[in-house]
Amino acid sequence: MRKFASALSGAEIQAICGGEFRGDDKLQASSVADPAEATADSVVYFEQSRLFEAVRESQAGLVICMPDQANLLPGRNLLLHPRPGFAMMKLVSCWLSHEAEKPAPGIHPSAEVHTSVVLGEDIHIGPGCVIGKGCRIESGAVIESHCVIGAECAIGKNTRLHPRVTLYPFSFIGSECIIHSGVVIGADGFGFVLEDGVQLKIPQVGNVQIGDHVEIGANSTVDCGTLGPTSIGDGTKIDNLVQIGHNCRIGKHCILCAQVGLAGSTVLGDYVYLAGKAGAAGHLSIGDRAMVGAQGGVTHDLAPDGLYWGTPAIDANAYKRILAIQRKLPEIYGHYRNQLKHKED
């Protein structure tokens, strides 16, 4: 459960989320919760029928549901919305925007900021931060405790680095980005060449370029390019524990779920969706709006707009047919053995 300082009426919630409020005009909601822990001031939502019983039995003061589900909850305060999850997102975002505490501008005495660094207005630099020569940090940026920013980096307006983020030299991050704890941006790409029985390191002298409105989850890593940049387009969202290899180019508004791994020189179009633990072998491209299912292994180029499953990743419908046949293999093999035995007899 998350409680907020300000309470909202049903009409106010309708104004924020859209949809249609039905219920008690005196409703005052000030928290969001899972059904099991909801109280009279809580808002809950459901879209899937499997959650209905939990919602029906909950003490929630307001339920967000689809219009055709209204008759399932007689006597309850309802917000009828075609996309309940989206409505809940808008409601929580509104509450957070009013109550989020942004650290006060200023540089903590323990931070080490090189004299050549160019700082915009209203910047917060927390305890123990180290900011190298020639960096440029634009107005409204927040750099929380113990971040390390190498020489010649750039950070855009209102971007926030959570504690213990590391930027190697020459890394560029756009505006309105969120970089979570433990992220490392710009470490050397993994490149070696075998010469006379010895693995020789290939120098990695490129950088990382990240667009605006990008979010990168905790403990994810983005390696620098070998010669040119590794790039991430505007609006892309990256989950925790994701590895992006050198010279990858990720388009706009992509989704990379936890434990995705992209080998070097993978190219993603715009609006690509990679589910958890999906991986790409490198030096290949995935087209716009393509979706790769969980644990999918991409070994060749994928066309735009497709849904792909499995390793190697193939069309999802073909993969389903293969799975259906695999389930029948014991039965098929049994028939085959019986036929062999019959012939032997």
* Buried residues in 241-274 as b, exposed as e (16+ CB within 10 A): bbbbbbbbbbbbbbbbbbbbbbbbbbbbbbbbbb
Cα–Cα separations (whole angstroms), residue 275 to 48, 255, 299: 20, 8, 16
Is 246 one of the catalytic residues? yes
CA angle 110, 116, 119 (to 5 degrees): 70
| The one catalytic residue among 246, 253, 283, 342 | 246
- Nearest of 45, 29, 175, 24 to residue 94 by alpha carbon: 29
Strand partners for 198: 195
135-140's contacts with Cβ under 8 Å and 24+ in sequence apart are: 138/175
Structure tokens at 173: 């991050």
Identity of residue 31: S
Q: In what order do the strands lie in the sheet with 62-65?
A: 2-8, 29-32, 42-45, 62-65, 78-80, 20-22
Q: Cα–Cα distance between 14 and 27 in angstroms, integer?
A: 12
Pairing state between β 62-65 and 112-113: unpaired
Q: Are 167 and 149 in contact (CB under 8 A)?
A: yes
Q: Are 77 and 27 in contact (CB under 8 A)?
A: yes
Q: Which residues contact 137 (CB under 8 A, 6 or more apart)?
A: 117, 118, 119, 120, 123, 131, 143, 154, 155
Give me the active site residues, please: 246
